[in-house]
Structure 1
Amino acid sequence: MKKLFLILSVLVFQLGLSQESKIKIVESKKIELTGELSKDKINFYNQQFVKFVAALKVKDKQAIDNLISDKVKDIVDDNMLQILSGGISFERKMEIYKSGNQMLFENETYPAIQYKYVDDKLTPPRDVITVLFENDGKILGVKPDYSK
């Protein structure tokens, strides 16, 4: 059950929605990455995320299903994807901000990459998108984080 709530909190975000949501959003602590991923792994995971963003942009459900982890396929629906699309600016170019490992509940560790928009010159960046991967490159979660 904890995994379900964590996955929901990673996939769903609050983007100033004034309407009530049917999805329960679980607040999570600030995401901290440990260690650093190798260049090869960063390139591999980055390619997967670029494919995911492209599929999300054109609403290609089949391609999205092929790119996400089996652990989250059952809970990812069209509404979640629509909310996620609203949290990613497809017009702005992204670049890798940080990489490392993210520890989840029950001490499971997954590779993660944080992205920022190229035009965001603040330190730390105002808008960060954290993507959790499984070792095989499947996307476990995407969490846009916007500082207010």
Structure 2
Amino acid sequence: MKKVILFSALVFSTFAFSQNSGGVTIIESKKTDLKSELPKEKIKSFDQSFQNFAVALKNLDKAKIKSLLSEKVNDIVTDDKIKSLSGGINFERKMEIYKNGYQTIINGETYPALQYKFADDSSAPPKDLITVIFEENGKILGVKPEYSK
């Protein structure tokens, strides 16, 4: 799990220090607050996209991973980052959707997002969450793990 945090920090720090004017930046809040809810068909579509991403990550299928990522982040995701992320996720724990809605990032843009919790986490609120931000077309824009200390 520490590798997941490290990978996310590397991905989001790249956004923060990039020179591109239209890029995506890191998410500001420590705990992600999702606003309003997504339509059920969007939730199903985004969830399927993330599940495909998780399977591709588990199998280290780099071509499939790149096809599921947004063009905005595809250039900065290297093979080393993919290996690091895949080694840091416990694929034995089942994830389920905890919340859904829209996430506003630092530059003011709003994107659809799903928050996942681990099915074996019965605490309220869950101790460990993974927020996945999508573009409207279903491509993954970012993954932000939120782990309790």
Change (3 A) 1:77 1:50: same
Q: How far did 1:80 drift?
A: 1.9
Deviations 1:30-60 (A, max 9, x none): 2211111111100000000000000000000
User: Normalized against structure 2, the TM-score is what?
Assistant: 0.80
Change (3 A) 1:113 1:46: same
Q: CA RMSD in A?
A: 2.1
Q: 2:5 aligns with which of 9, 13, 35?
A: 13
Question: 2:88 and 2:130 mapped to 1: Cα distance?
Answer: 9
**Structure 2 counterpart of 1:92, one-letter code:** R
Conserved 8 A contact 1:88-1:144 = no
Deviations 1:94-129 (A, max 9, x none): 100000000012211000000001000011111111
User: Normalized against structure 1, the TM-score is what?
Assistant: 0.80
Residue in 1 that maps onto 2:29 = 29
Residue in 2 that maps onto 1:41 = 42
Q: How far did 1:14 drift?
A: 4.0
- Residue 127 in structure 1 maps to residue 128 in structure 2: yes
Residue in 2 that maps onto 1:88 = 89
Which region of structure 1 is more displaced relative to structure 2, 84-93 or 30-39?
Answer: 84-93
Question: 1:134 and 1:24 mapped to 2: Cα distance?
Answer: 20
Change (3 A) 1:115 1:42: same
Identical-pair percentage = 53
- Residue 79 in structure 1 maps to residue 71 in structure 2: no
Deviations 1:12-41 (A, max 9, x none): 7249xxxxx8x9587842221111111110
Q: How far did 1:143 drift?
A: 1.4
Question: 1:65 and 1:34 mapped to 2: Cα distance?
Answer: 28
How many residues were matched structurally? 131
Residue in 1 that maps onto 2:20 = none
Residue in 1 that maps onto 2:62 = 61
Unpaired runs of at least 5, structure 2: 17-25
Conserved 8 A contact 1:112-1:133 = yes
